[in-house]
Structure 1
Amino acid sequence: MPSLIIMFPLFIILTLQTSLTAGVKNPNPPVFLLPLIKDKATSLYYTNLNLGNNNQSPLTHSLAVDIGGGSSVLLRCNTAAKSTTYLPIGCNSARCKQAKPDLLCFNKTNTCGKYVSTSFTEHPLNTLLGLDSVSLLTLKPNGVTNTVHSSLTLACTNDANALKLMPEVVNGTIGLGKSSISLLSQLASMHRIRRNFALCLPSKPAGLGSLHIGGGSVYTNDVSKSLASTPLIVDGKSGEYFIDVNSIEIAGKIIPLDKKSRGNAMICTLAPYTVLQTSIYKALVREVVRETKMLRAAKVKPFEACFSSKGMRLAASVPVIDLVVNGGAKWRINPWNSMVKMKGDVVCLGFLDGGVNMKTTEMVIGGFQMEDHVVEFDLESSKFSFSSSLLLHNTSCSHK
């Protein structure tokens, strides 16, 4: 995998480094780099992470990216135990106290326990905490990578149903939430880097996207200059990330959002497509259908609005969709991020109806709408930043 990372275009590397620069605590902070892969069958974004040091042959785990996840790594306990260097964390140990346990101690094993939040379960998971080494790539300003080994606190569960919603292509998750044992928090604490990360989600299964954690050197390019920002809202209980979306604009038509509470749009990489509350969804479909210069086609589950693209160019036939966020910036969703290619010449609007009463939010911004954009989560300045589509800059997040 490292050899593949080195092949990332320097353009993307410098773009992400630029956005992660301000206010760095460490004068020479490492930038941690994880490659991201898109699973063709499920549209799930995951990374391959090496855990343990079993006779110099660590175990490679395929882990889904859960940006609101509370644990650096979440595995089934029988999977975590396959590493000969995995050590359960004792109840009264300093490491257990550092993890801020929930007064859980499993008497049979004297193992530290903690409830861990995830983006794919309604309630936090009851987990056991352990310690193992992880191999991570760090990135220098000139694009050269280096491997760093760190000891991480990770979580495992004995609940057979806990990870059943995860497709077989992965055997766990990495968490980037605000929890003290998330991957973001642990790396920030160990290496004195800013608590921020940036994603570049790939649109093609054959290509590699990237996850950058921490600060970097200053570079300038047109993508970093195009970054727009809005306040980032972190749910204090779940650790999920939210922003305020005031309205949706399509060809001059404004679809207002109710905004019953602060942070009405959750950002979630585990959701393959953006989900909207029913009234907002219906209004969006109505306007897109009205403005799209293509013939309607039969519905293709799970989508409602489908079209025939035969002989048509998406860019000229489909309206752009603007999410107007708090502060006035517009997150532009171009046709290649709104229309999903199906079989033959059929394309469908890649938004889903979340029902009349969505829990906690009116909108969940999913991965498809974020593909080929640089998106940054800066917890220290409470700011969420996003670029225009990289395709407009003759590049993308998908690289071999």
Structure 2
Amino acid sequence: MASSSFHLFLFFVFASFSLSYEASLSKQKPQSLIFPIKKDNVTLQYSTSLDMGTPLNFWDGVIDLGGQSVWLNCDKYNTSTYRPIRCGSSKCKAAKGSGCSGCNAPRRPGCTNNTCGGSPYNPFENLLYGEGLIEDVMNVHSTDGKFYLQQSDVPHFIFSCADSPSMLKGLAKTTKGMVGFTRNHIALPMQIALAHKLPPKFALCIPSSTENGFGDIFIGGGPYFMPPYPNDMSKSLFTTPLLINPVSTAPIYTEGEPSDEYFIGVRSIKVDGKLVPLNASLLAIDKNGVGGTKLSTIAPYTILHTSIYKAVINDFVNKAAARKIKRVTSVKPFGACFSSKTIMASTRTGPAVPTIDLVLQSKSIYWRVYGANSMVKAGKDVLCLGFVDGGSNPRTSIVLGGHQLENNLIEFDLASSKLGFSSSLLLKNTSCSQSRIF
């Protein structure tokens, strides 16, 4: 009898401890919130997964660093917890809603009256629609940087429905919309950070492939752990100021509004340590918002102003020839291609080709592009320099594209207006393809 009572006592102690522990976990403020990044090998687009509504609707959206908001094709979006954002409401004003939208069909997500107007935009087809803004609950995952910890909710996540099938043109087949990451208050990072009272900070670790694991989006800051590298990556990031373009680059904006996109101050470019002769005025942003360097997840490869492109190609070809790397017929859209048989070695950071440095605020702060991020396989035994000609009159002189961002940890600190970057994680024998649980 005594033994039975003792075991019963232990059971209640254990049960009480378990409940207490689970309760403390549920009340614990998340250190950061995490979303996966997947790569589509056909379109070269990157997407993330969002869990929204009641019951949960799981959908993938294309990641757009220049996107103002989140939008979804709501044809199959079934939920009982959505609410339209009313015209003239404080939420509508905060979201910079435009006009009022209505609908004559039966009420459903994306079809409501007296609804704050949103502006979902498809950059691949340059399509802009006027659709209503709605809000619904979103389920998110929190992490300590190493492990998935728990789930929590964002009860009033704002997005818009884009019901026209044409809005999905150009998007990866597995996706149903787009996820914006600008400074805008209804872009994903700002909404999530505000809802959980986290620092206005997010980081991307974009994978070159998702065959062995997903990349990561961290909202709220580090630590960032990338196994098997044992240390917190946030401690070793290089930093450079995030610049404000004085003229908006959004598809629709009010005169006088600055851009919400992410620009950095590239001062010069080096190939194998040698300065490339450039027109330096192209590297600055002028009063009309023209010029400069921005980061993009929509452009698959870095896009350069024609004069910059020609100068970089010329110096790269010359440095490659000095290494006895044979040039071959170019493969569109690239302008310089080489025989991979003549590249004598493969290193931890990819093919042993000339490095390209984007020199930032000082000679000691530069973003180095190694072979894994500079070269693209374009055929049997053919590797091409993954930079493309953006023409002689582009809005932005340098657009750093997805291929150059892969396997780099990139942190956007909106409070201090700084960009942190790791350089290639391959140097540390790790990558952005992590086998996390989602």
Structure 2 length-normalised TM: 0.77
Give the AA of the match of 2:75.
N
Give the AA of the match of 1:386.
F
| CA deviation string 1:207-262 (max 9, x = no partner) | 31101000345999374443111110244633211111111101232123433426
Give the AA of the match of 2:337.
C
Is 1:131 matched up with 2:131? no
Alpha-carbon distance between aligned partners in 1 of 2:420 and 2:308, rounded to the nearest angstrom: 24
Is 1:226 matched up with 2:248? no
CA contact (8 A) 2:208 2:407 kept: yes
Deviation at 1:105, TM superposition (A): 4.4
Where do 1:188-267 residues align within 5 Å?
A: 188-206=193-211, 207-216=213-222, 221=231, 223-235=233-245, 237=248, 238=250, 239-255=260-276, 256=278, 257=280, 258-261=282-285, 264-267=292-295
Is 1:181 matched up with 2:182? no
Alignment counterpart, residue 87 of structure 1, candidates 83, 87, 100: 83
Alignment counterpart, residue 275 of structure 1, candidates 289, 294, 303: 303
Alpha-carbon distance between aligned partners in 2 of 1:69 and 1:289, rounded to the nearest angstrom: 35
Alignment counterpart, residue 420 of structure 2, candidates 376, 380, 385: 385
Aligned to 2:62, the other structure's residue is in SS state strand
Give the AA of the match of 1:233.
L
| CA deviation string 1:96-142 (max 9, x = no partner) | 34423234344862111133567557586433101122111111366
Aligned to 1:336, the other structure's residue is in SS state helix
Moved more, 309-318 or 324-333: 309-318
Alpha-carbon distance between aligned partners in 2 of 1:217 and 1:336, rounded to the nearest angstrom: 26
CA RMSD between the two structures:
2.6
| CA deviation string 1:288-337 (max 9, x = no partner) | 11111311122222212111112632447411000011344110000111
Structure 1 length-normalised TM: 0.84
Moved more, 129-138 or 222-231: 222-231
Alignment counterpart, residue 368 of structure 2, candidates 332, 342, 349: 332
Alpha-carbon distance between aligned partners in 1 of 2:103 and 2:352, rounded to the nearest angstrom: 64
Counterpart residue number, 2:429:
394
CA contact (8 A) 2:66 2:181 kept: yes
Counterpart residue number, 1:39:
40
Give the AA of the match of 1:41.
V
Alpha-carbon distance between aligned partners in 2 of 1:124 and 1:83, rounded to the nearest angstrom: 25
Alpha-carbon distance between aligned partners in 1 of 2:232 and 2:183, rounded to the nearest angstrom: 30
Counterpart residue number, 1:368:
403
Alignment counterpart, residue 61 of structure 1, candidates 38, 59, 62: 59
Deviation at 1:196, TM superposition (A): 1.1
Counterpart residue number, 1:313:
345
Alignment counterpart, residue 111 of structure 1, candidates 110, 115, 133: 115
Is 1:298 matched up with 2:329? yes
Aligned to 1:78, the other structure's residue is in SS state coil
Residues 1:378 and 1:389: Cα distance change in structure 2 (over 3 Å): same
Where do 1:18-29 residues align within 5 Å?
A: 28-29=29-30
Counterpart residue number, 1:22:
none
CA contact (8 A) 1:69 1:118 kept: no
Moved more, 332-341 or 99-108: 99-108
Moved more, 96-105 or 186-195: 96-105
Question: Which one has a bigger Cα radius of gyration?
Answer: 2
- Structure of greater relative contact order (alpha carbons < 8 Å, 6+ residues apart): 1
Moved more, 123-132 or 275-284: 123-132
Moved more, 243-252 or 84-93: 84-93
Residues 1:218 and 1:323: Cα distance change in structure 2 (over 3 Å): closer
Deviation at 1:93, TM superposition (A): 4.2
> In the comparison of the two structures, how many residue pairs are matched?
368
Alpha-carbon distance between aligned partners in 2 of 1:218 and 1:45, rounded to the nearest angstrom: 20
Counterpart residue number, 2:388:
352
CA contact (8 A) 2:30 2:142 kept: no
Structure 2: gaps spanning 5 or more residues? 1-27, 105-112, 251-259
Deviation at 1:28, TM superposition (A): 4.5
Structure 1: gaps spanning 5 or more residues? 1-26
| CA deviation string 1:337-376 (max 9, x = no partner) | 10012332211100010011112x1010011111111111
CA contact (8 A) 1:29 1:216 kept: no
Aligned to 1:387, the other structure's residue is in SS state strand
Over the matched positions of the two proteins, sequence identity in percent amounts to: 40
CA contact (8 A) 1:302 1:352 kept: yes
Deviation at 1:397, TM superposition (A): 0.7
Aligned to 2:270, the other structure's residue is in SS state strand
